[in-house]
Amino acid sequence: MLDRIDNGWLYTFMCVYEHQSFAKASEHLDTPSSNVSRHIQQLECELGSKLFYRTTRRVTPTPIGELLFSEIKEPLFNLNQSIQNITAASSSLKATVRISAPDIPEIGNVLADFLTEYTNIHLSCEHSTSIESAIKGSPDIIISFERGVLDDRDWISKPIYQWESTVLASPKCIKRYGLPRTVSELETLPCISSYKAFNGNPWIFTEPTTNTILRFAPKTKIDVDGGFIARAIAIRGLGFVALPKTFCSQEISSDHLREIKLDYPLSPLTLFIHYRAISYHSFITKKLVEFILNRIS
């Protein structure tokens, strides 16, 4: 039975029981309420019994829920105490943590600082341009670039840093294809897009007053997963491109690239850190997540 039950489900169950609320458990776990509901549903499915009576006003445990709480409360408490004891001996701790992250200086520097402080840690770091590809490798932590609102996943996701982004094109491209004023007009023009990053679609716009999300699949014959390549192709006049402004500041100031003002602004490029709730409660994963958030944020 234990091989079919995730410890994270049990921890979620404890939080819902103690707070008597799915919403409060969500806040305590720092995870979407949909994840809390899913964990309880998965646990109920494996146990074959309903654990909570749910109404619009309150959440109360069923007899099976009461029994489960009484049976697992002490073992989970003892496990937590054991982890705290390990934490006290962190200077001599030997452990392995697996992380998937973009190869950028900010991440490299913070990981180097972490390893300098925790000298016995074995770090396994891989690179993926797609969060979906990274998840398949089952790392403890994922860092990824995203635009717009994230899809609901069984991961806790926190923004680390944002870059203002814009649609750009060279004077040659604008002269050849015209200057679009709306996202709808841009749809008919050649664009330089992505085939892996951002789930294959970096073209996500956000209306600032209502936060309405607008996505579209651009007309493109050029798909790349790299800002340097996309910028170089855009400078040659081969299409419109979506990039962070700071990444192209010199090209903008020298008029090699021009900002395209549309009716919807491009969503900012956001660097996210993702981790599973149960992984987060392992000592070293928690330490690394907190270290990255403190250093980069």
Name the phi and psi angles at 117, rounded to 5.
-80, -40
Residue 37: name the closest of 48, 52, 47 by CA.
52
Could you give the residue range(s) of every CATH 1.10.10.10 domain in the chain? Answer: 2-88
Domain covering 165-267, topology: D-Maltodextrin-Binding Protein; domain 2 (3.40.190)
Residue 144: name the closest of 123, 154, 159 by CA.
159
pLDDT at residue 173, as a whole number: 96
User: If you count them, how many residues does the chain have?
Assistant: 297
pLDDT at residue 239, as a whole number: 93
Tell me the residue type at 83: I
pLDDT in tens, 9-40: 888 899 899 889 888 888 888 777 888 888 99
Could you give the residue range(s) of every CATH 3.40.190.10 domain in the chain? Answer: 92-158+273-296, 165-267
pLDDT at residue 92, as a whole number: 52
CATH node for 92-158+273-296: 3.40.190.10
**Residue ranges of the chain with pLDDT lower than 50?**
91, 280
pLDDT at residue 202, as a whole number: 73
CATH node for 2-88: 1.10.10.10
pTM of the model: 0.65
CB 115 within 8 A of CB 123: yes
pLDDT at residue 204, as a whole number: 86
Residues 6+ apart with CB under 8 A from 215: 148, 201, 203, 204, 205
pLDDT in tens, 71-126: 888 887 777 777 666 655 554 556 788 999 988 888 999 999 999 988 888 889 98
pLDDT at residue 109, as a whole number: 93
pLDDT at residue 245, as a whole number: 92
